[in-house]
Amino acid sequence: MQTIPTESAAPTNSPVELRGGPDPRPFDIEYIDNPDQATLRSLTKQHTPCLQTTAVGSLNKVTRNKARMAKYTYILGTDANAWSQNVMDPAKGRDLIRRQREYIDAKGQMIAIDGYVGLGKRALGATYLYTPEGANIAGMQQILSFPRKDVETADTLARPFQPTFRLVYTPDFRPEDMPGGQCILVDMENWTTHVIGPDYFGESKKGVLRMLNHWVYLHGGLVLHAGAKAVTLPSGEKLTMTVMGLSGTGKTTTTFSAQGDLTEPIQDDMVTLWPNGELSITENGCFAKIEGLSAKSEPVIHAGTTSAEAWLENAWLNDDGTFDFFKAELTPAEVARVRDILIGTNADPVHVDKYISGEVKLADVLDSNGVPADGWDFVKWTGNGRSIIPMSSIPGAADLQNIPRVQSMGILNRDEGADAAMPGILRFTSPAQAAGYFMLGETSKTSAAGKERGKTRSPFTQPFFPAKYGLQAGRFREVAATMPGVPMWLMNTGYVGGDARSVKEGVGLKVKIRHSSAMLEAMLGGTVVWTVDPDFGYEVVDVNAPENAALLERVPKAILSPRGFYDEAGRLDEYEAWVKNMTAGRREFLENYHVDADIIEAVCR
């Protein structure tokens, strides 16, 4: 593993210094250097397969991969004990890199995007290289990257670009000898990621952010899978709130919903936390999930997604090019209309035609949970559609050159199921306790294909920390200890005592967006009276305190106090069994990652 001296903290609005790094143009081919968005759209129409044009003129790519593929991601190296992810023998990895180079040479052309991850002194340069079939990915990445002119001085702009990171992306080079015909190969020694075979934008975005995770850790900070927003309180105080969470927990929704007198979005996915609450950013826009998107519930994301400037992946388009963000099951006629695209993204042609003809019906291939049988995923449109929205399209976005220090940090847990018993909101009592829960990253999930369901734990709520995961908890505790008085909390964005089906039956409760906003407003305003939870030792809202009456008018008591909900429903034995099971599972999980003993004890009393 590389060792790099730790830098002292520097103001985030200072000019960046160019750092020597990988060669930004390593191939002897023709480069299309930093084309503008119009040119990238033209290149996409020429070269990108399975492409649709929307009614507003934006482009929608239907991808083979519907999500990132961690199982096909490898660190180039021999020491498996140094990394949290798969490792690949350097000889095998170098052979794949050689074969990728041969593919690039045969193509004879690449699109090159130079930009920065972040702004100011903490900004790091990155060069992204794509063969022409990845023109849409280049267009999306250019939006999320900060241009050189926003970071460099006139003197450095006159010099050749010197990136810290490099990414080489070849979507249609699919090595048959690799599982899934694809490989994401991370060469940390040369700060280069080779994306071989996937066609999903997330592999570009995360390819560099994964390397950033390692670079930042070596320099004394920690990258968080988190949204961030600046909040102005009624007192006039301005602060930054970070909101961590896995995909589908409501991170983007929470980032763009209002609390206080003024809320200004900063980032929706990844930020870097440094000692004393300094925050540095990563992206110049957002990569938003669009399933169930509506103008009423998420007006900012909806407006950006439906604008002509957006780029989209896996959005469902009606036959007139308009959007349907609620599309689930497809009719035979709808499958017939997009037959070529479905087959072009690996659907079985025989199955597709049987469904179109009516030989096989929808009910024949869905289980009781509505999940398609293997080989029949195409009958349900993916729930992992995405859009790329530039910050310039987001009204009221914060001044990214002047970000307030972090004064509130939270994690989202989308709890779901009969044993969904996480409180609507809770507050941690120490940096060690906060570090443990941030390490756990608990939530409920459904994969993009709808196959993996149920509760999960993901270290530090993000799988892009390449070194050993347990290091994250210790680093978080270290940084949190430099932030005395900063509230650190967890919010349940899912359900209490059930799921969508049980809510309709009047059994469970859904934590709605308005409930989340009310809880955050009360916490930020300092009006909540807390009490220590007897089972876990964190603080929960005291539902019996008169001072919390206003909050209880906006949020059901059962959401704030699940123990009381289960007790009143005659299900306290279920709750107590859940407490026992959660405590044991959390301890086992944290011990498995060799988390420090004091952090484990703060979580598992």
User: What CATH number corresponds to the domain at position 153?
Assistant: 3.40.449.10
* Residue 14 scores a pLDDT above 80: no
- Residues 6+ positions from 548 with CB-CB distance below 8 Å: 522, 527, 528, 529, 541, 542
Which of 188, 219, 250 is the endpoint of a domain?
A: 219
Domain containing 96 equals 30-219
> What is the Cα–Cα distance from 99 to 175, expressed in whole angstroms?
9
> What is the Cα–Cα distance from 272 to 118, expressed in whole angstroms?
10
**346 and 495 housed in the same domain:** no
The rounded Cα 476 to chain-centroid distance in angstroms is 19
In a domain, 57, yes or no: yes
In a domain, 163, yes or no: yes
Share of the chain above pLDDT 70, in %: 94
**573 and 458 housed in the same domain:** yes
> What is the Cα–Cα distance from 17 to 156, expressed in whole angstroms?
8
Q: What is the pTM of this model?
A: 0.88
Cβ contact 202:287 at 8 Å:
yes
Q: What is the pLDDT of residues 325-365, one digit of tens each?
A: 999 999 999 999 999 999 999 999 999 999 999 999 999 99
83-87, 208-212, 246-250, 541-545, range with the lowest pLDDT: 246-250
Which of 351, 370, 386 is the endpoint of a domain?
A: 386
In a domain, 372, yes or no: yes
In a domain, 9, yes or no: no
Q: How far apart, in Å, are the Cα atoms of 462 and each of 4, 40, 245, 270?
A: 23, 31, 8, 10
Average pLDDT on 116-130 reads: 96
Amino acid at the residue 535:
D
- Kindly indicate the confidence band of residue 1, based on its pLDDT and cuts at 50, 70 and 90: very low
- Residues 6+ positions from 359 with CB-CB distance below 8 Å: none
* Residue 186 scores a pLDDT above 50: yes
Total domains in the chain come to 3
Q: How far apart, in Å, are the Cα atoms of 239 and each of 257, 409, 476?
A: 15, 11, 20
In a domain, 535, yes or no: yes
Q: What is the CATH number of the domain that holds 416?
A: 3.90.228.20
Residue 602: phi, psi to the nearest 5?
A: -70, -25
Q: What is the pLDDT of residues 384-422, one digit of tens each?
A: 899 999 988 888 888 999 999 999 999 999 999 889 999
Q: What is the pLDDT of residues 277-293, one digit of tens each?
A: 999 999 999 898 999 99
Provide the 10 A C-beta neighbour count for residue 313: 26
**Two structure tokens written together for 507:** 């059994």
Which of 219, 241, 266 is the endpoint of a domain?
A: 219
